[in-house]
Chains A and B, each alone.
Chain A
């Protein structure tokens, strides 16, 4: 489809209710527009406040293709700033996480900035006298992003100066983050453990879609989870309790009916989750002492409500997935139309037994590592899809499962767990935030 996707009409033509055009995954111009519009107009995850607990602490990351950092100022406030010296463009911070002391100092010409980004000093400043520097954008210091919000220690930012508000964008979907945090007897998470980083030669949206694709586990993961089950059945004869690793692997082989019944919920703006009534995380062995801690902290009724919520995967559009019952967060970082960096983070529930964190780490390495056999299964499928999409025999990717004409868009609703409704929900939001402001309203109507 030769097109100039800067033209909104051309862009709209790529998304139908039941199918999307392959250019969403393969076209460099679509990717460039995603970086400019989608990742600027939406609220994107930046990091966790526990990574930067003290003044002077910072972390670096990307929002789309934009280098940014989150900095803890002397007053305790978190500022998300573009990681770029206003002088010559040099990246100010180069480490994933660190402490800069009282100020940031550019390593090139020693321009320095307070931890809220404002300009502190320029060496030999008299060379700028009478030059009009005070009128330049350079004198303003490190540029802040459009808006920053810290929600229960999760740091999000919107690059665009104006646009959808945080509460409006996420709405009730924040309940999945709430549930993950509430699972700590102290209501607090600490990001702990190095992230597992996994490079994928495919478009970032394939990974996001896969999070709520419940018709692939019993097929694509037959090789890993299926083998785990059959090897365990043989080993079982030797006796002993079911190992934690088998508890992690085995539910991937659950039948279609299980996934259908577990349900799926969509929320406006592209967010959604699988596992409404139950999930593959519901039947793990109890961790000794944990339940009692929760009852003591919250009372029996509330504790059971928190622990009874076993959501599977929650997608926060555009590019993260959260597992409340497992305390993991995956970030799908777009690098190019056909390249995505997946970073999988783990959280410790403050005040909970070590064994819960042990399970979190085990889950992460068994499922999300470049050495994970489940990961190998998935990556193979993404890679084949990325290559297969170049076939000119057909141009559309089907997302029609359990679709009914006139399906409500941009609403909160519950569907069968094998529905592709969350994928449709994501593409509806994709179009909404890809189009320039104002045109987004049109498209929604």
Chain B
């Protein structure tokens, strides 16, 4: 990321916004290896299953995945015997401009809040989802990395079909 490389001393709102958009673009272009590289080694991707959930592990979640589990997902998507990806899924993100909730250089902590609409399609099926993504990030060697991505669906409690890609 050229923006952050030049601004290791300071992270601006524009840096964070560009980073969030870039993540969505990598997901929409199915560039998963590059997408994973946006995450810190101790990162988690969390989709709560309860309203205003506070605990990812002792309350029900749709996903609470560390890098090992995310790598398994990514590798599975391209597996020769991954029948639920024959045909393959595609995704599209429509993001509202991210709001920056925190820029704390001293604590090396940056947080954003991004309402989104997300479409996932496979074969003749097309499904829309809506929700809010919260990113917590930090700088590692001058690069922004995601430490926690939390995706709250507006209808987290409704019965859903397969969600195979990433919001």
A residues within 8 Å of B by Cβ? 193-201, 220, 222-224, 226-228, 230-232, 235, 243, 245-246, 249, 341-343, 346, 354, 357-358, 361-362, 364-365, 369-371, 373, 375-377, 379-381, 384
Contacts and interface: CB of A to CB of B under 8 A. Distances in A.
A357 B72 contact: no
Contacts of B82: 223
A303 B79 CA distance: 43
Interface range for B = 20 to 34
B62 A377 contact: no
Given A245-B69, A373-B72, A223 B79 contact: yes
Interface string B140-167: 0000000000000000011111111000
Contacts of B69: 245
B32 to A, nearest CB: 13
B84 A379 contact: yes
A371 B47 contact: yes
A375 B162 contact: yes
18 contacts: A193-B49, A193-B50, A198-B161, A223-B81, A227-B79, A231-B72, A235-B68, A243-B68, A245-B68, A357-B58, A364-B60, A365-B61, A365-B63, A370-B163, A371-B163, A376-B162, A376-B164, A379-B162
Given A232-B68, A341-B159, A373-B76, A361 B84 contact: no
A223 B84 CA distance: 9
Contacts of B59: 193-194, 361
Contact of B157 (A197, A357, A365, A381): A197
Contacts of A230: 75
B160 A199 contact: yes
B117 to A, nearest CB: 18
Contacts of A245: 66, 68-69
Given A194-B49, A358-B57, A373-B76, A220 B83 contact: yes
A379 B162 CA distance: 8
A245 B72 CA distance: 11
Interface of B: 47, 49-50, 57-64, 66, 68-69, 71-73, 75-76, 79, 81-84, 157-164
> Mostly helix, strand, loop or mixed at chain A's interface?
helix
Contacts, number: 110
Contacts of A369: 49, 62-63
B45 to A, nearest CB: 10
A249 B65 CA distance: 14
A376 B68 contact: no
B160 A228 contact: no
Contacts of A371: 47, 62-63, 163
B161 to A, nearest CB: 5
B60 A195 contact: yes
Contacts of B84: 223, 376-377, 379-380
Contacts of A365: 49, 60-64
A344 to B, nearest CB: 9
B160 A197 contact: yes
A342 B162 CA distance: 12
Contact of A199 (B49, B81, B159): B159
B151 to A, nearest CB: 10
B64 A198 contact: no
Contact of B159 (A197, A231, A235, A375): A197
Contacts of A246: 68
B157 A194 contact: yes
Given A223-B81, A223-B82, A197 B61 contact: no
Contacts of A228: 72
A247 B157 CA distance: 28
Contacts of A198: 159-161
B26 to A, nearest CB: 19
Contacts of A354: 58
A231 B75 CA distance: 8
A196 to B, nearest CB: 6
Contacts of B162: 370, 375-376, 379
A375 B161 CA distance: 10
A231 B161 contact: no
Contacts of B71: 231, 235
B36 to A, nearest CB: 12
A194 B50 contact: yes
A165 B35 CA distance: 57
A342 to B, nearest CB: 8
Nearest to B167: A371
A242 to B, nearest CB: 11
Nearest to A224: B76
Given A193-B59, A358-B58, A371-B47, A227 B72 contact: yes
A204 to B, nearest CB: 14
Contacts of A373: 72-73, 76, 164
What are the nearest 4 A-B pairs in CB distance?
A: A197-B159, A193-B60, A380-B84, A223-B82
Contacts of A362: 57, 64
Contacts of B160: 197-199, 370
A226 B75 CA distance: 11
B72 A196 contact: no
A376 B84 CA distance: 6
B62 A196 contact: yes
Contacts of B68: 231-232, 235, 243, 245-246
B79 A194 contact: no
A191 to B, nearest CB: 11
Contacts of A364: 60
Nearest to A232: B68
